[in-house]
Every structure is written in C-alpha cells, then in structure tokens.
Structure 1
Amino acid sequence: MDDYEPLGLDGSDLDEFLSMPMETAERLALLTLEKAYGMLRLLVTVVQEGGPLSREADRLAKAIAVRIPSEN
C-alpha cells in the first residue's frame, strides 16, 4: 500500500469510506480504531446536542458503530 493516505475527518471522505465495497477488516485497515472511536464520540455528541446536523451524525454514528468492536 505505497499510496496509502489516512482517512481524514471530512464528511465526503467518510461517506466514501462507508460505501466502499470491502470487507469490514479491510475498511478498518483504512481507519484506525483510535480514530474510529474518536469520530464516534464526536458524532454522538453532535446527536445529543441536536441541531441541523444531528440526523446525519446519527446515521454516520450507527454506520461506524456496527463496523468496529466495542471500546470496552
């Protein structure tokens, strides 16, 4: 993977990442668990605060949560 670039937090990158036709393990290789947990915490905070982005944040949080092991 010489052309590997870490996934940024840009929403378009995340949508592209979540729609990739790969197995879960291959997807996780592109996003570290540490980043996934951080992103999930951020999205959950946005959902809890409400507002115009909460519906999209909830959708993305659920999509990430089913793809990573529990943080506990």
Structure 2
Amino acid sequence: METSEISANVNNITLTAAAAADHNKLCNLWPTVKEGLQLLATFISNPVVKVIISTVISAGDAIIGKICN
C-alpha cells in the first residue's frame, strides 16, 4: 500500500477499544517511535524492509492525525 493510499483511507483505519481509550499514551510516544523507525531505516539496506518501515510510519502518522488533537 502506498503512503498516499494510507493517508486517503485514514478514516477506514479502526483502533481496538484499548488503543482508543488510551490514545494519550500513543500520542505522547509516537514522535519517539517514529524517530526510532526512521533511524532504523537508515541502517537497513534491504529495500523491502525499508518500504515496510515507511508503511508503518505512514500508518502511524495517519492514526496520530486521526486521534491526537
């Protein structure tokens, strides 16, 4: 799935009840998690793994944009 597809379909992303209830923790941790994933991607040479990391970051950004105000 392309980054643009994830952003376009953000309203179709559903969260578990537990995640939705404790979204403040996710909102607080996401910047650090994202930075760690970006750093990890710089050390990885496998292009498939880089795409997977990029997809996780895109999904995380979309979810954060949806639940964190």
> What TM-score results when the alignment is normalised by the length of structure 2?
0.47
> What TM-score results when the alignment is normalised by the length of structure 1?
0.46
Q: Which has the higher helix share?
A: 2
